[in-house]
Amino acid sequence: MKRVYNFSAGPSMLPLPVLERAQKDLVVYGDAGCSVMEMSHRSKPFAAIIENAEASLRRLMKIPDDYAVLFLQGGASMQFSEIPMNLARQGDTMLYAVTGNFANKAMQEGARWGNAVAVTTSKADGFHHIPKITADMLDQNAAFLHITGNNTVFGTTYNTLPETGKVPLVADWSSVILGKEIDVAAHDFIYAGAQKNMGIAGLTVVIMKKALLEREVDPIVPTMLRYKIAADNGSMYNTPPCFAIYMAGLVFEYLEQEGGLAVQEAKNRKKAELLYGVLDASPIFKNAVAEEDRSITNVTFTLPTEEETKAFLAMAEGRGMTNLKGHKVAGGCRASLYNGMPYEGVETLVECIKDFEQGLRK
């Protein structure tokens, strides 16, 4: 069967060379005599895999030496709980910018641990813009400010980071990481689920200032949810998601070979500009996001009626494009343009949009 253009928000398309490399190594990895899925995480071959993956990621993202890199499990959603438990004491004030579905979920989990405060929200306009945040808006004694850097559900992104003063900035960059350059040093803590731009489901990457590892942690926090335990054990206090780390390492290596994140960002902006240009000129397809806050990764759009939406989705699927249906919270349509989505896939989508406008339904 021919491969489709998979516009899923995650798990998403992977670069074909990465898949082909994994296929080549699947049964026997190098001279290990077994698959990565079978080898011990304490073995020399896997030690090289995880060490090389971290080194490659550090080069790609220009991660300073005073930041730790952790390969964790539980998905980005686990971080909604783990961050408060490690960076705040019970009852402490934690600040959240509520700019979408997952930002709200993060705050809800924070509220289980301490005083979670929404410093701003874009709910009133359907989460179609990113409110500006300045240091004078923030309690400077708060444990941290949490932002969702890119909102997969509503298609918004932080193109300008908040001003936080002395409040540590925590950011969920799950759906943009490795898709554009991110100034790691402007953050205190970054986390991302791997299944969008980094690899496959099962791995979450945390990049954090090492100084945060020294914060006092409440005795009630489970051992497995302590960042310092993970850091002190090289992300291998227990068996890590070995195959997911291996796949991420292949993606990191591929991106380095392709020229790095500046090159990848240029490719992604070109894809996004093509799609936004057609949507902006369309008489029936609409994108409601404020132009200055548009995501280059997750492009949301709507049609006038539910019937037309269903007809368009059926037409797109018939042309080899899948997972264009919008998130259940937002409805409409959504095209996720991760690194693995080739420019030709966006061209195919644009052609489908134009044909639909002209009355074609096949």
The answer to whether residue 5 is domain-embedded is: no
For residues 139-146, average pLDDT:
97
pLDDT in tens, 243-284: 999 999 999 999 999 999 999 999 999 999 999 999 999 999
Does pLDDT of 360 surpass 70?
Answer: no
pLDDT in tens, 199-232: 999 999 999 999 999 999 999 999 999 999 999 9
For residue 80, the domain's CATH number is: 3.40.640.10
pLDDT band at 2 (very low <50, low <70, confident <90, very high): confident
Does pLDDT of 237 surpass 70?
Answer: yes
DSSP string, 181-232: ---GGG-SEEEEESTTTTSSTT-EEEEEEGGGGGS---TTS-GGG-HHHHHH
Residue 219 sits in the same domain as residue 299: no
Residues 324 and 316: their CA atoms lie apart, in Å, by 8
The rounded mean pLDDT for the chain is: 96
Does pLDDT of 361 surpass 90?
Answer: no
Cβ-defined contacts of 257-265 (< 8 Å, 24+): 260/60, 261/60, 261/61, 261/178, 261/180, 261/181, 262/181, 264/178, 264/179, 264/180, 264/339, 265/179, 265/180, 265/181, 265/296
Residue indicated by tokens 């205190």: 188
The answer to whether residue 99 is domain-embedded is: yes
Does pLDDT of 343 surpass 80?
Answer: yes
Query: Among positive and negative, which fits the CA dihedral 91, 110, 68, 32?
Result: positive
Q: Of the candidates 208, 170, 151, 205, which has an alpha carbon nearest to the alpha carbon of residue 84?
A: 170
Residue 343 sits in the same domain as residue 246: no
Total domain count, the chain:
2
| Boundary residue ending a domain (257, 286, 301) | 257
- Residue 69: which H helix or E strand, with range? strand 67-72
Residue 135 sits in the same domain as residue 271: no
pLDDT band at 359 (very low <50, low <70, confident <90, very high): confident
